[in-house]
Amino acid sequence: QPNQCQHVTYNVDKKLGAFGLLKSNHQKDHNATPGTTRPLLCAWEDGFQLYDIEQNVKLSPYSQGEDVNPQKGLSRLNDGRTDVLGKRFICGGYFGGDEAIRMKVFAVEQEKSSGTLQHQAIVEDIQITNSLCFSPDGRTMYLADSPTKQIYAYDYNNSHNGEPIASNKTLLQSKEPNTLHGVPDGSCVDREGYLWNAVWRTDTNESGLVQRVDPQTGEVVFTVDIPHGTSQVSCCCFGGRNLDILFITTAAEFLDRDASNQPHAGGLYAVQLPFQGRPEARLDFSF
């Protein structure tokens, strides 16, 4: 709760891959006390659902559509983002380490008259979905399939005109293995439209980093090096009063903390930058 300078932990019963915040004025029960719920659209390991994370209460059934995780096991939903207009939540899967499994990226919408959640696949043949974010005008969607070391750009269709939601896939950036021992993880986009990508190092002896990528050329124009030898950099976002602080999450997966030379692995970093982010959209869903 940044506005209260509090650190709060919520316990849930399932694996939570991603979530989207809702606009605060879309509560159906107008007699409820304002602020008593913290509604999210949750991307669980097996589906999408509106959920009150604070009171641990389901606010909707699962979304309607195909099985988002037919393989079960270790595969699950992973990275997600609300589109710029707040119409859809875009979220894709994680293959669970099984090379034979391919996942999909889904678009979740709400049918306004009934409040029913519905999802449909918009991208297929993905191993690990990451870097989901949008250009400031909402017309470009970015997406990485991490094991391929590549970040792609898609034309994104904001309307409901029967045309594909994501189309015209083009390569934005490739992190060649002979020049960088790392894969693209989470990303965000700043006010100028540049992509900020967290690079998860596959060599744990190398410090992780965040790269600012030119959306036209794919070139890296600015780099944030993570200190303390922390290698597993997982995502980033802008915050602070002026949106000029980049918050960077890291992981300690597969690391022996006692023997590790990465004492701050799994910690949250913050760096003030000469660049500004932009506010993230909230979902225009009711509950």
> Strand, coil or helix: what is 2?
helix
Contacts of 104 (CB under 8 A, 6+ apart): 68, 92, 93, 121, 122, 123, 124, 125, 126
Residue type, 274: P
pLDDT band at 36 (very low <50, low <70, confident <90, very high): low
Residue-wise pLDDT tens digits, 224-280: 999 999 999 999 999 999 999 999 999 998 787 555 689 999 999 999 999 999 999
pLDDT band at 31 (very low <50, low <70, confident <90, very high): very low
Q: How confident is the model at residue 27, as a pLDDT?
A: 59
Least confident of 50-54, 63-67, 129-133: 50-54
| Helix count and strand count (H, E) for the chain | 0, 19
Where do we find the tokens 């159906």?
28
Q: Known catalytic residue: 185? A: yes
**Average confidence (pLDDT) over 17-37:** 69
| SS3 of residue 56 by DSSP | coil
Asked if 263 and 255 count as a contact pair (C-beta separation under 8 A), the reply is: no
Distance of alpha carbon 81 from alpha carbon 286, whole angstroms: 18
Structure tokens at 233: 């950099």
Distance CA 272, CA 162 (A): 43
- Phi and psi, residue 148, nearest 5°: -80, -10
For strand 57-58 and strand 16-21, is the pairing parallel, antiparallel, or unpaired?
unpaired
Band (5; pLDDT cuts 50, 70, 90): confident
How confident is the model at residue 286, as a pLDDT?
92
Structure tokens at 258: 């006692």
Q: Which tokens belong to 198?
A: 């967290």
Instruction: Give the bridge partners for 174, in sequence order.
Output: 150
Q: Which long-range contacts (CB under 8 A, 24 or more apart) does 140-145 make?
A: 140/215, 141/83, 141/90, 141/166, 142/172, 142/187, 142/189, 142/195, 143/92, 143/105, 144/183, 144/184, 144/185, 144/187, 144/197
User: Which position among 79, 83, 145, 185 bears the catalytic label?
Assistant: 185
114-153 pLDDT, tens digit each:
999 999 999 999 999 999 999 999 999 999 999 999 999 9
Smallest CA-to-CA distance from 225 within 233, 237, 214, 215 is with 233
pLDDT of residue 33 exceeding 60: no
Whole-angstrom distance, CA of residue 250 vs CA of residue 26: 33
Q: Spell out the domain ranges in the chain.
A: 2-272
Considering Cα of 249, then 243, then 130, then 64, what sign does the dihedral take? positive
pLDDT for residue 73 is more than 60:
yes
User: Are 266 and 280 a contacting pair, CB within 8 Å?
Assistant: no
- Amino acid code (one letter) for 32: A
Cα–Cα–Cα angle for 131, 278, 218, rounded to 5 degrees: 45
Cα separation, 43 vs 49, whole angstroms:
7
* 235 sits in which H/E element: strand 233-239
Query: To the nearest whole number, what is the mean pLDDT of the chain?
Result: 91
Structure tokens at 25: 């004025």
- Domain covering 2-272 in this structure, CATH number: 2.120.10.30
pLDDT digits (tens, 9 = 90+) for 78-89: 999 999 999 999
